[in-house]
């Protein structure tokens, strides 16, 4: 969410915002319809229009840099900026891997004018969450160094293969940075390497952050409160437009599969699977058991997918992990918003009757059915399937028309 260059004055120059005047009761003394209107307006604003057909990066390598300087101990976000950040990050990590199962995340701490790697780039959710929880006792002193963070990120992301996106997200609370040399050369290097840098500012807009984000084609947002912080953070779970043109490479992947029990050669034998150690829990000493997924190339066992095989380096996944990103490739046609003129009595999706509270109703341009604003929000954000189109024989196919056989 970039700050627009407003021709108006700054926020502190305007008069009081008389927010209480927006609340008006209707004839019965109720505010129900007003609450519904506010909720609809918020939903409409949250569902910002898509920027047209862009290439998205779905296999993502995202580095998260967390500011651990003195500015993070400020208490304008409760209980402190740092603890609020850590709590929101736990949710972010889970949501990130839910939406992008084949991507990898890494954590960096900006401590005391240096950048320190906390976790390596990996797809292991537990490891990241444990590391985030372990950070809560870090002493917050000194100043951060933006340039050292950028250098470290560049060192980590540069050697990676070209088919995945390279991103850096900095959570920055300080208004200063202490850098060894000219940061502009570092920014130029990142730009040539195609690393997309974004910043979420916790204090105020800082010019060098804005420049960095603009040059590398990233996003810059400054938080207003913790709810806004969460919504800004969660925006980064969606794949960004691609930073540079990536080649149509083929990525070798393995899809573990074991033959079903009925097909095994000797039906009379005792079919308990052999007890083996699982590779993802090697350090912890757990994970001894029978069930698991075997890497097709080297037969090492992993208890959960997706995983990067430690022995042979093959990326292991299953078909649903690939399908998780399908809704970006095959999006739902957006619904039209119309004034409620009595075109329909009830919502096609949930059967809720339309009342006077529904000032606007939505219509699908393909199946021509009418939906309430809540179903429209559910379809756009979560379901990605229009119920009307999916139940019509001439509309349910999601293949684009440009497919050539």
Binders of another protein in range 145-174 (CB under 8 A)? 163-165
Helix (H, G, I), strand (E, B) or coil at 115: strand
CB 106 within 8 A of CB 117: yes
Give the span between the Cα atoms of 89 and 91, in whole angstroms: 5
Q: Is 14 in the site for another protein (CB under 8 A)?
A: no
Give the span between the Cα atoms of 299 and 293, in whole angstroms: 9
**Nearer CB in complex with another protein: 102/183:** 102
Q: How many residues bind another protein (CB under 8 A)?
A: 74
CB 370 within 8 A of CB 340: no
Q: Is 50 in the site for another protein (CB under 8 A)?
A: no
CA 301 to chain centre: 29
Binders of another protein in range 280-309 (CB under 8 A)? 296-297, 305
* Identified binder of another protein from the candidate list 44, 114, 281, 324, rule CB under 8 A: 324
Q: Is 144 in the site for another protein (CB under 8 A)?
A: no
Q: Is 254 in the site for another protein (CB under 8 A)?
A: yes
Candidates 331, 339, 327; CA nearest to 366 is 331
**Nearer CB in complex with another protein: 14/245:** 245
Give the span between the Cα atoms of 59 and 95, in whole angstroms: 15
Binders of another protein in range 221-240 (CB under 8 A)? 239
CB 278 within 8 A of CB 302: yes
* Identified binder of another protein from the candidate list 6, 319, 341, 356, rule CB under 8 A: 319
Q: Of 54-62, 226-234, 264-272, 273-281, which part binds another protein (CB under 8 A)? A: 54-62
CB 340 within 8 A of CB 327: no
Candidates 320, 169, 321; CA nearest to 237 is 169
Q: Is 310 in the site for another protein (CB under 8 A)?
A: no
**Nearer CB in complex with another protein: 151/374:** 374
Residue 35 tokens, joined: 């609450």
Could you list the beta-strand ranges (E) of 49-139. 60-67, 104-111, 114-122
* Identified binder of another protein from the candidate list 23, 46, 288, 323, rule CB under 8 A: 323
Candidates 123, 163, 156; CA nearest to 308 is 123
Binders of another protein in range 328-357 (CB under 8 A)? 329-330, 345-346, 349-352
Q: Is 260 in the site for another protein (CB under 8 A)?
A: yes
Q: Is 382 in the site for another protein (CB under 8 A)?
A: yes
CB of residue 395 vs another protein: minimum separation in angstroms? 9
Interface mask (CB under 8 A) for another protein, residues 101-140, using x and -? -x--------------------------------------
Binders of another protein in range 72-101 (CB under 8 A)? none
Give the span between the Cα atoms of 56 and 331, in whole angstroms: 13
Residue 251 tokens, joined: 């990525």
**Nearer CB in complex with another protein: 131/383:** 383
């Amino acid at each position: 969410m970039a700050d627009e260059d407003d021709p108006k004055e700054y926020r502190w120059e305007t008069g009081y915002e008389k927010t209480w005047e927006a609340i008006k009761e209707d004839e019965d003394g109720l505010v129900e319809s007003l609450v519904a209107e506010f909720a609809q307006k918020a939903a409409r604003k949250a569902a910002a229009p898509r920027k047209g057909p862009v290439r998205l990066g779905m296999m993502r390598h995202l580095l998260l840099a967390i500011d651990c300087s003195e500015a993070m101990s400020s208490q304008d976000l409760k209980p402190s900026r740092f603890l609020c950040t850590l709590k929101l990050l736990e949710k972010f990590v889970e949501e990130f891997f839910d939406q992008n199962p084949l991507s990898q995340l890494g954590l960096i701490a900006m401590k005391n004018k240096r950048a320190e790697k906390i976790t390596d780039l990996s797809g292991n959710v537990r490891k990241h969450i444990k590391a985030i929880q372990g950070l809560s006792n870090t002493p917050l002193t000194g100043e951060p160094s933006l340039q050292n963070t950028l250098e470290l990120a560049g060192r980590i992301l540069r050697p990676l293969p070209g088919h995945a996106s390279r991103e850096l997200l900095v959570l920055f609370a300080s208004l200063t940075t202490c850098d060894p040399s000219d940061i502009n050369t570092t920014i130029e290097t990142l730009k040539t390497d195609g690393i997309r840098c974004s910043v979420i500012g916790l204090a105020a807009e800082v010019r060098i952050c804005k420049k960095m984000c603009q040059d590398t084609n990233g996003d810059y947002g400054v938080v207003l409160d913790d709810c806004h912080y969460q919504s800004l953070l969660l925006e980064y779970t969606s794949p960004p437009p691609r930073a540079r043109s990536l080649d149509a490479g083929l990525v070798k992947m393995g899809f573990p599969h074991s033959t079903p029990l009925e097909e095994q050669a000797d039906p009379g034998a005792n079919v308990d699977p052999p007890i083996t150690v699982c590779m993802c829990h090697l350090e912890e000493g757990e994970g001894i058991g029978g069930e698991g997924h075997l890497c097709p190339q080297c037969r090492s066992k992993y208890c959960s997918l997706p995983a990067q095989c430690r022995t042979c380096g093959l990326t292991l996944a299953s078909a649903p992990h690939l399908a998780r990103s399908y809704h970006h490739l095959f999006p739902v046609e957006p619904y039209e918003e119309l004034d409620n003129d009595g075109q329909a009595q009830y919502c096609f999706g949930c059967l809720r009757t339309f009342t006077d509270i529904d000032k606007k109703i939505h219509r699908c341009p393909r199946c021509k059915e009418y939906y309430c604003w809540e179903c429209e929000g559910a379809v756009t954000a979560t379901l990605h399937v229009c119920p009307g189109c999916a139940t019509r024989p001439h509309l349910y196919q999601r293949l684009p028309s440009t497919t050539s056989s």
